[in-house]
Copies of this chain bind each other. A is one copy, B any other.
Amino acid sequence: MIIVLKPQATEQEAKHILNKIENAGLKPLYMPGVERIVLGALGDERVLQKLHLDSDPLVEEVKPILTKYKMVSREVQAHNSVVRIGNVPVGGDKFAVIAGPCSVESEQQLMSVADVVKGHGAVALRGGAYKPRTSPYDFQGMGVEGLKLLKQASKATGMPTVSEVMEVGQVDSLCEYIDCLQIGARNMQNYGLLKAVGETGKPVLLKRGLSATIEELLLAAEYIYDAGNPNIILCERGIRTFETATRNTLDLNAVAYIKKRSHLPVVVDPSHGTGVRELVIPLSRAAAAVGADGIIVESHLNPAEALSDGHQALTGEMFAQLMQELKPFVEAAGRTL
């Protein structure tokens, strides 16, 4: 339930009501706004009715939250959340471009691509150290050595970093070396992992599962939020459909839909969303136009020799072209790079 207080209600009075909510065994939410304070109560709604909050003179309105997700809903928070990866805000006026290789492969590979993407305007560095691979015989990532290289690249370039965490046991090392923990598509409903990253308080980039509905994505985010971590960036990265010309079908409907329903920032991954290098630039333009808060793209200075996903990585030259082409669309959307 959402409890809208009257304009004259003070913070102390609000706390008093929150105590009542908590004592009734419900989860209280405190959401101060510019004009009035809004409270939330999550849990068994029949309990709530016994509190008769609607007859409290300080309460203007009590209304249900209609969606299954609660804290990530715009019903609970009308304004956009801005999540900071290191010093980089995602969700505000800036359109964030996060770039880097699919996998960290070596110091030389990482440092050189980090320099290039930074030079062309990327604000954060991505790179996989732990790689979820369909086959046990494929390259599984450099592990903690890769994390250290990301830290080093971050220091050298000033860019904060994003890297995937695959298991609860990796959360601590990720937190030590990395600025934003990525939950990959295969792990979107790995609830133990969602809770674990929820407890860290670190920014989390949560990728949509291959066949996850929008509602399921928002409920996965609710798990992280419910564990105490509001610093969540959602990521549309393409869904699995019958089409085989592209690796996935990038669902930009979902971006527009989520921006209406949730206050969380949303970034788009056109690399996995298309799986085809030559489609990354037009779909990045579309992502800016549809209202996304940024993109996360794969770049490799020598894609032909990449240990994973080489066919969808942008060369340095293509990355430069991407940034140049993006600019007018980002500005048309009322933002800046």
Contacts and interface: CB of A to CB of B under 8 A. Distances in A.
Contact of A286 (B186, B191, B252): B252
Contacts of A254: 243, 245-246
A273 B251 CA distance: 11
A136 B223 contact: yes
A249 interface: yes
A192 B213 contact: no
Contact of A251 (B137, B243, B257, B291): B243
Interface string A218-258: 01001100100000000000111111111001111111110
Contacts of A273: 253
Contacts of A166: 190-192
Sorted nearest first, the 10 A-B pairs with minimum C-beta distance are A211-B211, A167-B192, A289-B289, A328-B332, A256-B282, A186-B189, A286-B290, A286-B286, A285-B289, A286-B289
A81 interface: no
A196 to B, nearest CB: 9
A132 interface: yes
A288 interface: yes
A134 B226 contact: no
A33 interface: no
A318 to B, nearest CB: 14
Nearest to A186: B189
A110 to B, nearest CB: 23
Query: How many copies of this protein are present in the complex?
Result: 4
Interface string A25-68: 00000000000000000110000000000000000000000001
A274 interface: yes
26 contacts: A69-B135, A70-B137, A133-B191, A134-B216, A166-B192, A167-B191, A186-B190, A187-B189, A187-B190, A190-B190, A209-B211, A214-B243, A214-B245, A239-B242, A241-B242, A243-B254, A244-B244, A245-B253, A253-B283, A259-B282, A283-B290, A285-B290, A285-B332, A289-B289, A289-B290, A332-B332
B240 A242 contact: yes
Q: How large is the interface on A (under 10, 10 to 19, 20 to 34, 35 or more residues)?
A: 35 or more
Contact of A288 (B215, B223, B289, B291): B289
A199 B122 CA distance: 42
A266 to B, nearest CB: 12
B222 A135 contact: yes
Nearest to A238: B253
Nearest to A215: B245
Contacts of A279: 253, 256-257, 260
Interface string A128-156: 00001111110000000000000000000
Contacts of A278: 260
B257 A245 contact: yes
A276 interface: yes
Nearest to A140: B191
A136 B216 CA distance: 11
A134 B219 contact: yes
A210 interface: yes
A78 interface: no
A282 B274 contact: no
